Structure 1
Amino acid sequence: MLQIGKYWEDPSVLHVNREAPRASYIPYADADTAREGKRGRSPYYQTLNGTWKFRYYESVSRVEDGFYADGADTAGWDDLLVPSCWQTNGYDQLHYTNVNYPIPCDPPYVPDANPAGLYVRDFLIRDSWSEKVPYLVFEGVNSCLYVWVNGVFVGYSQGSRVPAEFDISRYVRSGSNRIAVMVLKWCDGTYLEDQDLWRFSGIFRDVYLLARDKTHVRDAFVRQRLSDDFGEAELYAEVETNGRLDVTAELRDAEGRTLRTASAAVDGKGVLTIALAKPELWNAERPYLYELFVKAGDEVLRFRVGFRRIEISDGVFRINGVPVKLKGVNRHDSHPELGQTIPIRHMIRDLELMKRHNVNTIRTSHYPNDPRFLDLCDEYGFYVIDEADLECHGIRSYDAVPEGAFHTLAKHPDWKAAFVDRAVRMVERDKNHASIVIWSMGNESGYGTNHMAMAEWTKERDPSRPIHYEGAASIYNGDPNVDCLDMESRMYPSVEWVEQYAADPTNRKPLFLCEYSHAMGNGPGDLRDYWDVIYKHPKLMGGCVWEWCDHGIKTETPEGVPFYAYGGDFGDKPNDGNFCIDGLVYPDRKPHTGLLELKQVIAPVLVEAADLAAGSIRVTNRYDFIDLSHLAIHWTVERDGELAGQGQLWELEAGPRQSQTVTVPWERSVTVPGRYVLTMSVRLNRETRWAAPGHEIAFAQFELPAAAGSDAGRKIVRETFDVTANEDGGVLTIEGFDFRHRFDLSLGTFVGLSKHGVPMLAAPARFNVWRAPTDNDMYAKKKWLEEGFDRAFMKVYRCEWTKRDRSAVDIAVDFSLGGYIRSPIVRGKAVWSVDGSGEVALRVHVQVKNNLDYLPRFGLQLTMPRGSDEVEYFGYGPHESYVDKRQSVRRGLFRTTVDDMFEPYVKPQENGSRYGTEWAVVSNAQGMGLAFASPGGTFSFNASHYAPEDLTAAGHDHELVKRKETIVHLDYKMSGVGSGSCGPQLMEPYRLNEKEFEFGLTIRPVFREDE
């Protein structure tokens, strides 16, 4: 039996022998090496990353005493790479849960069968460290750790995502040394780390040694003061030493030129002051960084300095005196193969993707990220809401737990130290980062005096940044005292509520949407609505979309088919299924169409028509600090989707928050009939750290007042011929010069369309109201299933045909759609007409059952034969679009394939539809197929190798079996996608909630190469 203190179930013990928290830094030997910022180039740094001996136990009770002893035999142990997570290396249980704890909710106790991971590594200390003091640093260990060096107990720590540092000078010796670490899966801190994520364990961030001078700078807090006009700055380097020390501070500019120095003898605590005239200010658009080198003894510490002032005045959030909108995302540490172990290249990839998509803010949901991530945020330019590693979402009113239990830990005095510890360690580690503009006191942990203590300590330590905590919102019925919080925060309020808050003068605090517009699956569908309101009201700070990435685990089936797994795929209980697949990017960082939508909605440049007849366009700069000289506009004019003119506009110069007018030099005296569309693409005109020249920042489109339209350039004179109509066995056959169509009178629909003997239907056409539910249909889906939308079939009440004249046949059908148990969903009257060219015209009048909220869709579903893979359409593209998710698509002529129209969401669902389509053609490689149009209107168009029932039934994309046929949807309307899986219900304007409507279509067999 292991003989150790059972600290893991005692909230009064947060550490044993752990050093006091300090700012994140690495000591270097000189300023030039420090400036490179490469840890391994410091002679005072030694990584302990690499292969360790590892043994996993299902319970700490099975760990035998002495494994940590000097010379203990580990020959039979496994090798494990550090840093890493056990679960991604085949140990323990991969487990995803959101709200619910994976253990009984019995704080501070955890199961007796508490898994343990034992780590052992031998290491050498270089001779040059003989006069130094060695420190052992763990940057992240989940959930708690015990440490031994050379068989002697060093210390204990918990708090998974902030550092634990130990002075090991008493335990090391010259030559070979051994470190042993025991990591437990659970401890009382687990109750404070109930974030919505995969539950990983182990030494998952870097571990290393630092060699310090015996007397050294232990900590530094680089504060600043800016004059009211920002023309003068003072830098205060508050230095803490462990003895008397001569300290010098040297400030350099971004080019490495020394600007000012200051020196002082410090014994314990001291301040070195540097004054600077006309400082370059830091902001996310121009992240100018100075460098402060703190020199003492043999050591040089380097801190990046961004001069900026953060304040809230008159209810408005401001940076450097300017009202700023936070255009953000929530970001978890997540890697599809490494779990929460995040390589620096992966961090950079995330940040570059965010910059390319106009994101300027990151909320570190819901814990401090790797300190190198914050270094990168300083450099790339992001506003960061740094969030304490605190979430106790699972403390809920279950079983006999009294109402209001959610606030239990937030109010309990026994947990106060643990709450405050998480704020202290975050603030002390990250206090010198320019990118951090807000401190957040955690997430979804109730609200009470313990949060107040966190906020009060934080304000006293760092009054330069405002304090955030959403869990204090009045809707949670926590403590009404919210004076310690500087902003109102909400998750997933409706757009209407947001506007009401902004319009109410009694609301003095700015509003921050720390989570909004849930991006799960095919979504979000309400971004434009939120931002129309946010831009309108100064009191609205902006918000962070939930969330950045899908947390899929890369795995494969027993047959070797790769896929991304989610909750429950590993037998984990409890689990929240695919609720972790809720990001703007796939696990491999391929953007979802939702990210493209966000990019356009929050774009820092707005392009509007001033006088289209004169080619005059107004360009508004929505940047807060920089002008538009880094951008150019590439413009094109298309006639009916074909290029008619193009050019470049280089003279962009509007200052921040200003507008200018530009003129498109296009010859407007055009007499060729057609529809002319002007597209303005705002692009980078120079290289940046995150994108190449030509990268598009935003776009806009305008229909020009040119010659009269021409049905998208397709005025085709078609010769008509006489038709014959013969009924045989309940099937009406209509034949003309080059076509033969068959209509089943009992089914009330066409079962065959052909031209020159080529069949173009592989199954009967049918009306449809069902779509494979999107993730954001989560709550609407229940009603849809109750009403039988998924099982609706057509009942034919009447079907009659007449030959109107020599070249036209009409077929009238009275019908309904409904499923078992319930009354019909819709009743309709359809009139199908076939003319002598073979074109089929449909006119349908529909009445919807009164008690239905809204339909997912209504339209015609066709099944076209194998090989019908080529698609051309005039409408919006190049990717999917819906009535509430269409800001990122542009009008034009698109040529694509059925496969390329498909969007491979991790959990299959409705995807790939095209809102506002004017006409479309689906054909085989030789151009033989069907052309679709809606006279006088547009329709929602989709072509896929999967039917709605295929998408509905599949839990993962690899479960889909691709059909040889092509399923075509021609919808009167498709309801929007919204963000209802964790947000408000779909907004009324985006619902197909009409109780009566008419819809028209034409379907024409075509041989494209003959037209």
Structure 2
Amino acid sequence: MIRINKYWEDPNVLHVNREPARAAYIPYRDMEAAAKGKRGNSPYYQTLNGSWKFQYRESAAQVDDHFYEAGADVSGWDDLLVPSCWQTNGYDQLHYTNINYPIPCDPPFVPDDNPAGLYIRDFQLGERLSDKETYIVFEGVNSCFYLWVNGSFAGYSKGSRMPAEFRITPYLQPGQNRIAAMVLKWCDGTYLEDQDLWRYSGIFRDVYLLGRDPVHVRDIGIRTELSADFESALLHFDLKSTGSLQVSAELRDARNHSIGRSDLIVDGDGTLHLEVNKPVLWNAEHPYLYQLYIYAGEEVLRFPVGFRTVDTHGGVFRINGQAVKLKGVNRHDSHPVLGQTIPLNHMKRDLMIMKRHNINTIRTSHYPNDYRFLDLCDEIGFYVIDEADLECHGISIAEDWAPGAFHKLSADPQWRNAFLDRAERLVERDKNHPSVVIWSMGNESGYDLNHIAMAEWTKERDPSRPVHYEGAAPGYNGHANTECLDMESRMYATVAEIEAYAKDESSRKPLFLCEYSHAMGNGPGDLNDYWNVIDRYPKLMGGCVWEWCDHGIATMTEDGTAFYAYGGDFGDRPNDGNFCLDGLVFPDRRPHTGLLELKQIIAPVKFEAVDLAGGRVRAVNRYDFIDLSNIAVYWKVERDGVITDQGQILELSAAPGTGEIVSLPYSLPPEAAGSWTLTLSCWQKFETAWAAPGYELSFAQFELPVPAPAAGERRQPAAAAAPVYAAAENNRLTVSGPDFRHQFDLNAGTLTGISKHGVNMLAGPARFNIWRAPIDNDMHVKKNWIHEGYDRAEMKVYECEWRQHADFAVEVTVKFSLGGYIRYPLLHGTAVWMVDGSGAISLKTDVRVRDGLVYLPRFGLQLTLPEGNEEVEYYGYGPRESYVDKRRSVKKGRYETTVGEMFEPYIMPQENGSRYGTEWATVSNPLGMGLKFTSAEPFSFNAAHFTPEDLTKAAHTYELAGRKETIVHLDYKMSGVGSASCGPELAEQYRLDEKEFTFGLTIQPVFKEDQ
């Protein structure tokens, strides 16, 4: 057993021999290398990434006392790539939990069987480092670790997602050297790192050596001071050195022209200054960066500089004096294969996708990201809420939400230094990034004196940025003193609540929704409601959707089927199931439809109707800093989905926050039948790092004022009515005509057969349906649904009668109810089926829902079509799924697709693929033989190879066995999707909670090629 000091259960021992926190940088030999920023090109940088020898022990008590010695034999150990998470490499337990601690809650103590990972790396000390002061940097190690160099103890550190740097010069030797590290899975810091994620361990970020001059710049803090009119700036460089040192600072602009230079002899602490006239300001829309070069001894350091201010003056969040709305997302470090080890290209991909979807803000939930992520945000242009590695909401669960439990650790003086350490290391590392506009003091960790100490230290260290912390919200009953916080913050407040705050004149801070609109599964469905209010009130500064990506783990079944796993799939306990699948993108970064919805709602350009008959609309510039000269507009006029006119507008110029009238040279008929729409598409004119010219940023669509012909003028000569024949035998009714034959089961009270020219078009009885496979956001209301029997509702027929109207129509009237066992019937209805001489089947249903029921998931007709009905054509909203509260990203038009393409493969199967606002739809075989559905009022339509019961039963997509038949849903209404898995319950206006309603539709057997 290894004999070491048990630092891992002492919150007052944060480190041993760890260097003070500093700004992130790499020293280079010359300006040219520094400008390229490729750290591997620095002679003073030596990576230790790569293959390490590794042993996993189920307990630190099992660790050999001599494993770290320079001569220890590790030839039989495993090889493990660093950086990596050991759980993704087959060691230990893959484990997902949200709030609950994975260990007994006994702070600061952790289980005696504390798993340990032993790492050994032999390396040759680079020639250029041999005469330098040598430091080793671990960018991220979860959760704490001990370090030895050539058998000598060199240090200890905790705090998983922040750098730990050690001076190791005294322990090195020329030539071959050995580093040994013991990483523990748990420590007292585990109580402060209870984030909603997979619990990973190991050396998961980069490790490298830095060779420094014996006397060198240790740290630099960049401060920008701008004049009130932003016409001039003073740049301050606060330097710390390890001794007396001649330092020069040079600022260069984006064209690499020198702006100015300053020199100073620094001995410990010093400040240089540069004046800049007419600085180009940095913002997320135009992220202009200057480059600061620090020349000291043999080293050149480079720092990007962005001139910008951030304030909350007058209760309004402002960048450079301009009110800004934060259109953001919460982002965890997450990779479907590598876990929390995030390659640089993966970071870039996330940011490029965000940029393409009009996102301007990222909250680093809930810890500092790799420092290179902030470099990218500086360069590409994002506002970052940089968050301390602090979350301890499990303490509340352990005490069953007892009064004060939430604030226990924040109120405990024993933990004060641990709280402060996490703020200090965050701020010191990231203080020079212009993209960081807000410091966040962690997440869901209560609020008391320790948080106040964090915030007060942060404001004193860096008064240039506001400080955020949501845990101080009034509803949590924490410490009353919130003067150290610069904004109010809420999670999942309702739209009504944020509007009430905006109207409350006594509330003087801006309101930030650090989490809102839960994007789990088929959602979110409330984005438009939030932004209608956020845009209206200056005090509302925006917010961050929860969250960016699904945290599924790429996994294989025993038979080799690939799927994404979630909590519980690895036998992990406790677990929170699929609650980690709550992102706007799949694990592989394919966008969910929710991301496309967000893109449209926060789009930088919107259009308002001015005079649609005259072709005049107003283009509104919702950018904060740039005009619309980078935008082109394509427009088209359609009649029933067929283009009648189109064109382009290439020159727009509206300044930020203003609009301009755009005249479109189309002409409309004085009257015409059909649906007339105008669609405008905003295109990017120029290539950017994230999108090519022609990329659509947003669109708008308007119904055009074309009157329909008067009823008398519309009337066409009536076609000769074909006779209809009806015959009943053994409670089977057959209705036939010249080219069709339909059947009703009079006992079951429903349609059972449709055929045209002998082609069978129905593979099972039609049935009324109220059940949908619960979406994730139904997780709470579905308990009521199931209690009342919505999931098992069967039809009871009270009466079924038929009669013939002359020779030209047959009518079947059914009185029925729907209900499940145990409970009273859910609804009663009367359905009237009518078949005419063309073979068309019309249905009119009057429904009365029982009082006292929670809203219905849906109501409509479910049909089963035979195998081969794969082609879908419809006129309505598309080309993707849409719901009453999730339809801003779809356009009204005529669409052709397939049943398979309508399916949205959510990792946890659930209701998907519905098309809101459909006016007609046809489902047919490849020869065009099928059924056409129409209604006087738009309806929700879906075609799939799964029933709602199939989707409800499956826990993973791979468990779905698609039926050969096609299941068609024709819904009077479908309730909205909301975001109630974590957010507020579904808004009333999106619920199907009518107690009486009428639904009508027509089913027409067709041969499309004959029409």
Matching residue of 1:376: 376
SS of aligned partner of 2:962: coil
SS of aligned partner of 2:171: coil
Matching residue of 2:786: 785
Q: Do 1:550 and 1:582's aligned partners in 2 also have CA atoms closer than 8 Å? A: yes
User: Post-superposition shift, 1:753?
Assistant: 0.6
User: Post-superposition shift, 1:804?
Assistant: 1.0
The 3 A distance-change label for structure 1 pair 534 and 402 is: closer
SS of aligned partner of 1:583: coil
Distance 1:221 1:399 in 2: 43
Distance 1:61 1:203 in 2: 20
SS of aligned partner of 1:801: strand
Matching residue of 1:565: 565
Q: Do 1:746 and 1:799's aligned partners in 2 also have CA atoms closer than 8 Å? A: yes
Q: Do 1:673 and 1:710's aligned partners in 2 also have CA atoms closer than 8 Å? A: no
User: Post-superposition shift, 1:643?
Assistant: 1.8
Matching residue of 2:850: 849
SS of aligned partner of 1:354: helix
Matching residue of 1:74: 74
SS of aligned partner of 1:690: coil
Matching residue of 1:433: 433
User: Post-superposition shift, 1:689?
Assistant: 1.1
Matching residue of 2:8: 8
Does 2:921 match 1:920? yes
Distance 1:475 1:898 in 2: 47
Does 2:487 match 1:496? no
Matching residue of 1:447: 447
**TM-score in terms of structure 1 length:** 0.99
Matching residue of 1:163: 163
Distance 1:401 1:883 in 2: 36
Q: Do 1:675 and 1:707's aligned partners in 2 also have CA atoms closer than 8 Å? A: no
Q: Deviations over 1:566-589 (max 9, x none)?
A: 000000000000000000000000
Q: Deviations over 1:292-335 (max 9, x none)?
A: 00110000110000000001111111000000000000000000
Does 2:124 match 1:124? yes
**Aligned counterparts, 1:655-674, within 5 A:** 655-669=655-669, 673-674=673-674
Matching residue of 1:621: 621
**TM-score in terms of structure 2 length:** 0.99
**Aligned counterparts, 1:18-37, within 5 A:** 18-37=18-37
Distance 1:612 1:255 in 2: 46
The 3 A distance-change label for structure 1 pair 414 and 946 is: same
SS of aligned partner of 1:70: coil
Q: Deviations over 1:637-677 (max 9, x none)?
A: 11211122221101110011010011111233577643221
User: Post-superposition shift, 1:533?
Assistant: 0.3
**Aligned counterparts, 1:739-750, within 5 A:** 739-750=740-751
**Amino acid of the residue matched to residue 889 of structure 2?**
S
Distance 1:822 1:523 in 2: 31
SS of aligned partner of 2:509: coil
Q: Do 1:871 and 1:920's aligned partners in 2 also have CA atoms closer than 8 Å? A: yes
User: Post-superposition shift, 1:31?
Assistant: 1.1
The 3 A distance-change label for structure 1 pair 467 and 400 is: closer
Matching residue of 2:527: 527
Q: Do 1:718 and 1:837's aligned partners in 2 also have CA atoms closer than 8 Å? A: no
**Amino acid of the residue matched to residue 246 of structure 1?**
Q
User: Post-superposition shift, 1:131?
Assistant: 2.0
Does 2:870 match 1:869? yes
Q: Do 2:326 and 2:361's aligned partners in 1 also have CA atoms closer than 8 Å? A: yes
Matching residue of 1:363: 363
Distance 1:992 1:545 in 2: 26
Matching residue of 1:484: 484
Q: Deviations over 1:44-98 (max 9, x none)?
A: 0000000000010011100011111112101110000000000100000000000
SS of aligned partner of 2:273: strand
**Aligned counterparts, 1:197-236, within 5 A:** 197-236=197-236
SS of aligned partner of 1:918: strand
User: Post-superposition shift, 1:383?
Assistant: 0.3
Q: Do 1:397 and 1:404's aligned partners in 2 also have CA atoms closer than 8 Å? A: no
Distance 2:643 2:718 in 1: 24
Distance 2:266 2:839 in 1: 93
Matching residue of 1:302: 302
Structure 1 stretches lacking a partner, 5+ long: none
Matching residue of 1:332: 332
Distance 2:372 2:709 in 1: 57
Matching residue of 2:103: 103
SS of aligned partner of 1:686: coil
User: Post-superposition shift, 1:541?
Assistant: 0.5
Q: Deviations over 1:658-715 (max 9, x none)?
A: 100111112335776432211100010110111100111110011222362799x999
The 3 A distance-change label for structure 1 pair 223 and 534 is: same
Q: Deviations over 1:2-49 (max 9, x none)?
A: 011110011110000000000000000111110101010111000000
Distance 2:809 2:896 in 1: 32
Q: Deviations over 1:861-917 (max 9, x none)?
A: 000000011000000000000000000000000000000000000000000000000
Q: Do 1:135 and 1:166's aligned partners in 2 also have CA atoms closer than 8 Å? A: yes
**Aligned counterparts, 1:553-632, within 5 A:** 553-632=553-632
Q: Do 1:685 and 1:693's aligned partners in 2 also have CA atoms closer than 8 Å? A: yes
Q: Deviations over 1:731-777 (max 9, x none)?
A: 10001000000000010000101101111111100000000000001
**Aligned counterparts, 1:77-88, within 5 A:** 77-88=77-88
Distance 1:951 1:714 in 2: 46
Query: Which 10-residue stretch deviates more, 890-899 or 125-134?
Result: 125-134
Q: Do 1:674 and 1:709's aligned partners in 2 also have CA atoms closer than 8 Å? A: no
User: Post-superposition shift, 1:956?
Assistant: 0.5
Matching residue of 2:728: 727
SS of aligned partner of 1:314: helix
Q: Do 1:308 and 1:319's aligned partners in 2 also have CA atoms closer than 8 Å? A: yes
**Amino acid of the residue matched to residue 48 of structure 2?**
L
User: Post-superposition shift, 1:130?
Assistant: 2.6
User: Post-superposition shift, 1:128?
Assistant: 2.4
Distance 1:716 1:128 in 2: 95
Distance 1:399 1:901 in 2: 46
Distance 1:795 1:400 in 2: 45
User: Post-superposition shift, 1:353?
Assistant: 0.4
Distance 1:704 1:134 in 2: 72
For these two proteins, the number of residue pairs brought into alignment is 1009
The 3 A distance-change label for structure 1 pair 121 and 709 is: farther
Q: Do 1:674 and 1:710's aligned partners in 2 also have CA atoms closer than 8 Å? A: no
Structure 2 stretches lacking a partner, 5+ long: none
Does 2:841 match 1:819? no
**Amino acid of the residue matched to residue 331 of structure 1?**
R
Q: Do 2:399 and 2:405's aligned partners in 1 also have CA atoms closer than 8 Å? A: no
Matching residue of 1:275: 275
Distance 1:710 1:835 in 2: 26
Distance 2:319 2:233 in 1: 15
Percentage of pairs with the same residue? 67
Matching residue of 1:638: 638
Distance 1:504 1:270 in 2: 46
Distance 2:246 2:124 in 1: 31
Distance 1:714 1:175 in 2: 97
Distance 1:706 1:529 in 2: 30
**Amino acid of the residue matched to residue 601 of structure 1?**
I
Matching residue of 2:457: 457
Matching residue of 2:677: 677
SS of aligned partner of 2:317: strand
User: Post-superposition shift, 1:721?
Assistant: 1.1
Q: Do 2:721 and 2:837's aligned partners in 1 also have CA atoms closer than 8 Å? A: yes
**Amino acid of the residue matched to residue 612 of structure 1?**
L
